[in-house]
Structure formats: structure tokens, C-alpha cells
Structure 1
Amino acid sequence: MNRALLVIDVQESFRRRPNWAAVSAPDIAARTARLAGAARAAGDLVVWVLHAEPGSGEVFDPALGHVRLMDGLAPAAGEPVLTKTSRNAFTTTGLQQLLTARGIGEVTICGIQTEQCCETTARLAADLGYRVAFVTDATATFPIEHRDAPPGRPLAEILADPATLDTGRIIARTEYALAGRFASIASIASIDDLAPAPAGAAAG
């Protein structure tokens, strides 16, 4: 085992926010479960990462009970669960030490949000010397308002604003920024292909 799947922030907190209605991948939990299954079948380590903002009173405050994996996701025996308070998964956790202890040299990244915690983790992982695969279709994100947009607008108004960056453009920008610099761009199907066929399966 020299590869790990990093599952970033696929947690209930996001489902409690009004912009969940505009998420790019409403089935992100199912996509993540599929990827985790492929990783386990390939003998890879799966590391679960949650984001917390203690004392904030918001959806990422552990006191509210939403800092937990989405329904349908559960760590298998021996799979680490880390909690971070930074956007990347390294700075405020023992992730690097854990990967080093396990002899991990390659990481596969999925989760929420594509251009924020996932991309930031990919960039830092590359800088730390890991080989990185970014599974774009196992990430999810939300439309981003223009920096000068007035605060507190309803979601419908945000989506109707031509200055709002839609999820398709966000995802494309992330792929452009990462590919060839920080990560290779992968898909769930390509990761599935790395998993060994079940015993007794016929070769095709």
C-alpha cells in the first residue's frame, strides 16, 4: 500500500446551508462511496477528513452536530478520521505524519468543495512531494457570487446574476489550474479501473 484516498469534507454541514440546492453533485455521497469502495478493493488506505469551526455557531460548529459524514458513508475498520480547521487537510491535522508512517507516496483527492478545500489540499500535497490524482467528478461545489455582490441575497437572485460564477466554470478552472502542475485529473471510472476484478470474474 503506497496510495491513499483523501475524502475531504463530505459532511452533513453542507446539506444544512441554503446553497445546497445549487450544488454541482447532489449525489456526492454516493459518488464518494463508490470511490472509497474502489480504493479499498485496490488495497489503498482511505482517510476521511471533516471540517470544523468550533465556537462559530454555524453549520461547521461541532456543537450543532452536523460535523459528521453524510448518510451512506462510514469509515471501515482502521480508516482514520481527521478533523481540520484549515482549508487544506494538512496544516491543522496530523495527515502528513500519518501518510509518512504508512509509507504513502500517492494521494487521490475527492470531496467538497472542488476549488476550495479539495484544490487547496491537492496543491499542498504536490508541494510536499506526493503524486496527486484529482477525481473531479467525485468533488462538488457551489456557485460563487462576484466579490462586489451585496451580501445576504436569496439563492435565486444569486443564480440569476450574470456575474455569478457557475459550477461548470469553477470546475473547469480548477482542472486547468491543477493539471500538469499539481495533479493529474482523474474520474471515478478511471479509479474503478485500477481496482482488481473480483475473484472468479471472467476476463473481457
Structure 2
Amino acid sequence: MSRTALLVVDVQESFRVRPNWKAVNHPDIASRVDRLVQAARAKGDLVVWVLHTEPGTGGAFDPVNGHVRFIEGLEPADGEPVLTKTSHNAFTTTNLQQLLTQHGISEVVVSGIRTEQCCETTTRVASDFGYDVVFVTEATATTPLPHWTMPADATLEEILADPRTLSPELVTERTEYALAGRFATIRTLDEQAGVLVSS
């Protein structure tokens, strides 16, 4: 029998202290992810929590600043692994693959922040490792994506005013196009929560 793991990727306060959080597509990301967490627990699936850190940078992802913690409303249960990563995907700098192997996992469900960055990258790597991957887009979140020539210190107002900026909706759509049928099965939040509870 195949086993499933829910990956909760980077649903952390680090993002909420950044100015661009005001333009996030799913400000209720914690409650969206919690629906998947509760459904996974009810089924007896493994829930794996991942936090992104950038030690020594002095920014929102530097652990010394206190923002590298799960958004309020999300809390790992006793025994649920919490991994800390320094790469975009959840595998390269952690023991995630070893953990999944130990638990006999063959399918992973991806949720978290950001849709096109850590979530998409984790999905691609998981697929390459041979896992069946479910990508629950509605349980991911992202912010407007500036053109790559935009200065790193551009304000949110400047980013939103640039006609080249991709909206969260467009970023999400492109991610689904890239992943579907190649790296993952796309499911809605209702579909996945229902699948977890009823299967």
C-alpha cells in the first residue's frame, strides 16, 4: 500500500514581515494549509513541516530575527518532523528523502509559500526522485513577481506599477501549466481534503 506525506513548505512569518505580503494572493494561507494538515492527520498520513532559513543575512529569513516560525494557527503535532532548509527545494539541504524512504512514502502532497519558487522547485525534485506528486495550488501562496531587471530594492508600489510585473494569478497559472502532467497532478483544496478524508 502506498503511503502519502503532506509537505508544508515555508508557511512562515518571514514572508509576512516583507512589504510585498500586502499583495499576496492568499493571505489566509495558514487556514488553507491547516485544512490539508487536519485531513492528512485524520487519514494517518505523514505531515512534514519545512522552514526556510538564510543564516547570517540579517533579513527576514535569518533565524536570529525571530521570523523563522510557522504562521499563527499552524503547529506541528508531536512526532511530526520539522526540517530546516537553506535551498529553494525541500530536499537538497535536508534529510527529507531519507525521511520519506523510512516511512515508505510514495506520494507527496505539496503546499506552502511561494507557489512558483520553493513549492514548484520541491515538486520538480520530488518528481525526479520518483515520487507521485500532488500540487494543491490553492494551498500555496505567492506575491507579484517583478521583471528580472527590476532593482532588488524596488518598492511594492514600483513593482505593481511596472507593466511587466506578473500578477500572483498569472504566476500561479504558469506554474500549473509547467507542472501538470509533467511533474505533478494539480488538485483543488476541496478535492485534496476530500480525497484525504474519504480514501
TM-score range, shorter chain: over 0.9
* Structure 2 SS opposite 1:158: helix
TM-score of the aligned structures, taking structure 1 as reference length:
0.94
**1:145 maps to which residue?**
146
How has the CA–CA distance of structure 1 residues 128 and 162 changed in structure 2, closer, same or farther, with 3 Å as cutoff? same
Q: Which has the larger radius of gyration?
A: 1
C-alpha deviation, 1:106, in angstroms:
0.3
Distance 2:66 2:77 in 1: 21
RMSD over aligned CA atoms reads 1.1
1:46, 1:187 → 2: CA distance?
18
Read off the aligned partner of 1:142 and give its amino acid letter: T
Paired with 2:197 and 2:140, the residues of 1 have a C-alpha distance of 24
Identity %: 63
Is the CA contact 1:31–1:138 (under 8 Å) kept in the aligned structure 2? yes
Structure 1 counterpart of 2:119: 118
Secondary structure of 2:84's counterpart equals: strand
User: Matches of residues 22-33 of structure 1 in structure 2 within 5 Å?
Assistant: 22-33=23-34
**How far apart in 2 are the matches of 1:185 and 1:159?**
28
Distance apart, 1:149 and its partner CA: 2.2
- Alignment length (residue pairs): 197
Superposition TM-score, scaled by structure 2 size? 0.96
Question: 1:93-143 CA deviation, whole Å, 9 max, x = no partner?
Answer: 000000000000000000000000000000000000000000000000011
The unaligned stretches of length 5 or more in structure 2 are none
Distance, in Å, in 1 between the alignment partners of 2:57 and 2:153 is 18
Q: Could you tell me which residue of structure 2 aligns to residue 79 of structure 1?
A: 80
Residue 148 of structure 1 deviates from its aligned partner by 1.7
- Find the counterpart in structure 2 of residue 183 from structure 1: 184
How far apart, CA to CA, are the structure 1 residues paired with 2:20 and 2:164? 17
Distance 1:24 1:13 in 2: 16
| 1:60-105 alpha-carbon deviations (Å, 9 max, x no partner) | 0001111010100001111000000000000000000000000000
Partner SS state of residue 193, structure 1: helix
